[in-house]
Structure 1
Amino acid sequence: MEGTVDGFRYGAVTPVAAYSMACLGGALGLRCIVRSLINEQSWKPGWLALGATSVGCGIWTMHFIAMIGFQVEETRIRYDTSLTVLSLIVAILVVGVGVFIVGYRGAGAASLTLAGVITGLGVAAMHYLGMAAMRLNGDIRYHAITVGLSILIAIAAATAALWAAVSVRGFLMSLGASLVMGVAVSGMHYTGMAAVNVHLHSSAGAWSGDSPTSLLLPMLLGPIVFLLLAGVVVMFDPLLILGDGDWNRRAEQGSAHRETATRGTVKSGPPQARP
């Protein structure tokens, strides 16, 4: 018996909230990566790690907020805690690999392709690990072609996001890139969900189970708080407050002042004693 699958239990609420979290994680990640590239004096590994964690948390949070709106009418759904946590770890680690590749090797064709494929496969792995964490009175089956399409979308989205991270400098451009990234990541998620079919077990084996929100909401709290704290760090960074142009001008002015002072000291020399 086939189950009745509905991915929009709460209408547009969960898709809009999920998209917003994907955009937030993408925007923070892009700004952290840009921050590490513009100012070479900054601690690059720290900014890249913060960016990767922001993107990973944003994607993971997007997925599970969207899953709050997913239901199979004939059975309740719950989630395995270990697999759910593992999917978050995979998202952060694999996104981190891609971010560090482009952060240190730039946006050359070879490095960008490698980083995009790795990150895209990681995003897809996070998605399907999250799906594997579902427990319900039935078996989840997938349409292979649609699954393949979702993986291709994930790779394309990851490649575009990483290219934007090392190519886009202005704040407004980064914001626009994060909005596009949110569309791509959400599109990957809902394409993957379109591949889902649920084959129910006999009604005699049905169980009531807990509401998905009983596990997902507490688990979502941590990544959401992290994203908010990362937002505070980014917003109070001088690079973002001043803007890229002002930051560069002030750095150049400071360098010019130091060079002038040094020349003045050399020209004046030590005071000469009077005879």
Structure 2
Amino acid sequence: MPHAQHFTMGLWVPYLAFVTAAVGCYVGLCCVQQSRKYLTPAAGVCWLMMAALSIGGVGIWLMHFIGMSGFSVPTSPVRYDLGATLFSVVLAVGATLFGLLISDARLSAARRLPRSVSLTVGGIVMGTAIVLMHYSGMAAIRIRGTIDHDPRMVAVSAAIGIVGSVAAMWMFDVPGKLHVRVASSLLLACGVVALHYTGMVGMSAHVDLDASAPEGMTVPSLLFPAFGIGIVLLAVPIVALLLAPESDRELDDRGQLNDLSRVGKAGTEADQ
């Protein structure tokens, strides 16, 4: 029963996975901030959808399969079931969107909750999305044998993902600060990568040489189209962010509109 190996392609793989997670999370969190500006509710939801695609599709899902490119099992080929893999990306994006919607101050449900509660619940849901994506992605693995997970490491990895997501959500609630966006993105990326490799440490492969060779897709056959899709998922919100008009109205923590230009003018007149 040989052990699984996680760094067969070198240590550059986890570094690339971290950079991918950080970029996806940063673009997504910028979209979250844009959704809080003076926009119609429908436009705000569109921004949150782009945020979910960036965070869930690139920062979580694509990072996972970049990390899996270093995974191998001696004496057995490694394949991935296409249906389970597609389910994992839908789960990551959908659950991330749900968490972002919960934390949005304009929703009637969130408006009835204290801001601290909506942020915490939204962070928990996003962290759960990371956990579910990782283990549903692991369920897509096919080898000549079986794969088991240590329940203790599953619990530890889940705690890392959820705590990191809640902390990032709280940090990013401070609007308009570049260093806060960067720090929140790095924190969320650290949580995603730490969850991934903690979960991988807790897995074991049991090879049965008499079993038939597994069927499915190889990691390269998954990564090439995934990178193409990831570029599109990032390009769309980046272009939208660059073209978005600067709004001088923001939402406060109760979902009310603050006209910042009017406040600024009033302050100027008062000074005079």
Task: Normalising by structure 1, report the TM-score.
Answer: 0.81
Partner of 1:10: 9
Identity %: 30
**CA drift at 1:103:** 1.2
Structure 1's 239 and 70: CA in aligned 2 closer, same or farther, altered over 3 A?
farther
For the Cα contact (< 8 Å) 1:17–1:65, is it kept in 2? yes
Q: How does 1:110-129 map to 2 (within 5 A)?
A: 110-129=117-136
Larger Rg over CA atoms: 1
Larger helix proportion of the pair: 1
Instruction: Name the counterpart of 1:147.
Output: 154
Q: How far apart, CA to CA, are the structure 2 residues paired with 1:3 and 1:99? A: 41
Contact 2:84–2:139, Cα closer than 8 Å, also in 1: yes
| C-alpha distance after superposition, 1:110-153 (max 9, x if no partner) | 22222222221221111101000011101100111111000011
Return the alpha-carbon distance in structure 2 between the equivalents of residues 8 and 224 of structure 1.
25
- CA distance in 1 between counterparts of 2:218 and 2:118 reads 43
Aligned residues: 249
Distance 1:147 1:55 in 2: 22
Using the alignment, how far apart are the partners of 1:100 and 1:119 within structure 2?
Answer: 10
Measured after TM superposition, the shift of residue 39 of structure 1 is 3.1
Q: CA RMSD in A?
A: 2.8
Output the CA distance in 2 between the equivalents of 1:235 and 1:14. 30
CA shift for structure 1 position 41: 5.7
Instruction: Provide the residue aligned with 1:187 in structure 2.
Output: 194
**Unaligned 5+ residue runs, structure 2?**
251-258
- 1:76 to 1:113, Cα distance in 2 relative to 1, 3 A: same
Which aligned pairs between 1:1-275 and structure 2 lie closer than 5 A?
2-40=1-39, 43-57=43-57, 58-104=59-105, 105=110, 108-201=115-208, 203-205=209-211, 207=213, 211-239=218-246, 252=261
How far apart are the structure 2 equivalents of 1:174 and 1:127? 24
C-alpha distance 17-60 of structure 1, shift in aligned 2 (>3 A): same
Q: Contact between 1:27 and 1:175, CA under 8 Å: does it hold in 2?
A: yes
Judged with a 3 Å threshold, the aligned counterparts in structure 2 of structure 1 residues 211 and 96 are, in CA distance, closer, same or farther, namely closer
Which ranges of structure 1 fall in alignment gaps of 5 or more residues?
A: 245-249, 261-275
- TM-fit CA distance, 1:230: 1.9
TM-aligned CA distance change 1:197 to 1:183, over 3 Å: same
After the TM superposition, which parts of structure 1 deviate over 6 Å for at least 4 consecutive aligned residues? none
| Distance in 2 between residues matched to 1:254 and 1:236, nearest whole Å | 25
| Whole-angstrom CA distance in 2 between matches of 1:188 and 1:214 | 24
SS at match of 1:140: strand
